[in-house]
Amino acid sequence: MEIMASMYKLCKCGEKIPLHKYQCNKCKKLSAKFYNKTYDNFSRDKLSAKFYSSVAWKKARARVIIEEPFCRVCGKKADVIDHIIPIKSGGSKLARKNLQSLCHKCHNQKTLNDEILYK
């Protein structure tokens, strides 16, 4: 007789989740929302925060996600719209040709590369 118990733990909200997960999807979304708000309030400069909360940016971002729903680098589901040439390096803020869809992991890697490339 084979006993294969499913191994679970509890998320901070009380939901059962697999052992390899850190938190449930609901808590993950809430954490991301809190992180983004905290980043906007304390880390991002005020002009950038104003731009990224503008109607023009939200429309451009939505358009790119519809046209390009997958990461341009790895093909996973995109969740970040990236400026190919960073704004602080002279890239256009809203021009479609300067915007690309990336997953969070590929965006973080590109940002690190940009910091070296556009020093």
Give me the CATH number covering residue 66: 3.40.1800
72 and 107 share one domain: yes
CA 114 to chain centre: 17
Return the pLDDT at 66.
97
Tally of domains within the chain? 2
* Average pLDDT score over residue span 73-77: 97
Domain that holds residue 50: 46-119
pLDDT at position 76 over 80? yes
Please report whether residue 50 resides in a domain: yes
Question: pLDDT for 27-53, tens place per residue?
Answer: 888 887 777 666 655 555 776 778 988
40 and 52 share one domain: no
Q: Which pTM does this prediction carry?
A: 0.64
Please report whether residue 2 resides in a domain: no
Question: pLDDT for 52-64, tens place per residue?
Answer: 889 999 999 999 9
Q: Are 27 and 10 in contact (CB under 8 A)?
A: no
72 and 110 share one domain: yes
